[in-house]
């Protein structure tokens, strides 16, 4: 008898990584997925590097205990600050990490100016600096910190006057300098995409790297597992959720963003 496939772990500082999880679910419908929202410690964007890395290590350790065969780091801040250290600490485990879509943004710009919307930690991270140095060339890449955006999404404030004003305040400097491509450099930000696109206008392209992360995960999985996803008889995989924050709030917010009722369990201390 074939052994049941090991699950895949996905985590973020909160609910933002659901924007990546939904792309993984769409591409790999038969996989067993585990999601951790570290909402009790969100946001990561203003924390010390050591704190961010410690939280990532703890969550990956939880996934290892669940016998996952791969982990998706659905948090740009963790990638920018700590992914190299995490790969050294967990060499036996494939770690697929999200990063801002600087390369495709540079290829897409017509004005020669690209804006990256991110947390403060991602803006000043060595990871983003490496991306810009490797891919920007003659294109001007402007990194814009967006304080309060993660907290808005964690509270479920995806519309309304205050949210629109917060989005507009961060977009204005980029639009004023001619940015015609905006990169969503935080997994929470796709849930604010309607506000971003409304303020930016039809002449500005908005890029979300989530689908590319799902494709990279598929590439990293064993070939036979990836092939199983295309069979008509493959059963739909389950998705389980944990939160380090208030589980009642997390369950309600995840249900809203995920599009179906779910129950988030408490992440073990």
Please tell me the predicted confidence (pLDDT) of residue 233: 46
Considering the domain architecture, whether residues 62 and 106 belong to the same structural domain is answered as no
Please tell me the predicted confidence (pLDDT) of residue 5: 73
141-172 pLDDT, tens digit per residue, is 999 999 999 999 999 999 999 999 999 999 99
Residue 190 is part of which domain span? 102-208
Residue 156 belongs to domain with CATH number: 3.40.50.1860
Q: Give the pLDDT mean for 178-205.
A: 98
Does residue 170 have an active-site annotation?
no
Does residue 146 have an active-site annotation?
no
Phi, psi dihedrals of residue 198, rounded to the nearest 5°: -65, -45
Identify the active-site residue in 75, 146, 170, 247: 75
Considering the domain architecture, whether residues 87 and 109 belong to the same structural domain is answered as no
Considering the domain architecture, whether residues 120 and 50 belong to the same structural domain is answered as no
pTM of the predicted model, to two decimals? 0.92
Please tell me the predicted confidence (pLDDT) of residue 60: 98
Considering the domain architecture, whether residues 166 and 238 belong to the same structural domain is answered as no
Q: Per residue in 213-243, is it b (16+ CB within 10 Å) or e — as a string?
A: bbebbbeebeeebbebeeeeeeeebebebbb
How many structural domains are present in the chain? 2
Contact 8, 34 (CB under 8 A): yes
The DSSP secondary-structure symbol of 203 reads: T
Contact 187, 195 (CB under 8 A): no
CB atoms within 10 A of CB 24: 27
Considering the domain architecture, whether residues 158 and 228 belong to the same structural domain is answered as no
Identify the active-site residue in 146, 170, 186, 247: 186
The DSSP secondary-structure symbol of 41 reads: G
């Amino acid at each position: 008898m074939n052994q049941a496939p090991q699950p895949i772990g996905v985590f973020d500082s909160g609910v933002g990584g659901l924007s990546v999880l939904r792309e993984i679910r769409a591409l790999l419908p038969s996989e067993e997925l585990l999601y951790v929202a570290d909402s009790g410690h969100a946001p990561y964007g203003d924390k010390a590097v050591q704190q961010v890395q410690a939280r990532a290590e703890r969550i990956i350790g939880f996934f290892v205990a669940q016998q996952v065969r791969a982990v998706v780091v659905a948090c740009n801040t963790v990638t920018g600050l700590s992914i190299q250290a995490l790969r050294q600490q967990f060499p036996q485990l494939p770690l697929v990490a999200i990063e801002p879509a600087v390369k495709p943004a540079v290829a897409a710009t017509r004005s020669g100016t690209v804006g990256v919307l991110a947390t403060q930690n991602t803006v000043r991270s060595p990871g983003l600096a490496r991306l810009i140095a490797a891919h920007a060339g003659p294109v001007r890449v402007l990194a814009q910190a967006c304080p309060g955006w993660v907290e808005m999404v964690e509270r479920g404030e995806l519309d309304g006057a205050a949210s629109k004003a917060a989005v507009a305040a961060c977009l204005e400097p980029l639009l004023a300098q001619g940015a015609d491509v905006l990169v969503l450099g935080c997994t929470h930000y796709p849930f604010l995409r309607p506000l971003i696109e409304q303020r930016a206008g039809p002449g500005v392209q908005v890029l979300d790297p989530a689908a590319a992360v799902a494709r990279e995960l598929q590439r990293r999985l064993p070939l036979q597992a990836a092939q199983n996803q295309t069979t008509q008889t493959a059963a739909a995989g389950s998705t389980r959720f944990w939160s380090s924050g208030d589980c009642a709030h997390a369950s309600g917010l995840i249900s809203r963003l995920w599009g179906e009722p779910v129950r988030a369990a408490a992440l073990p201390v």
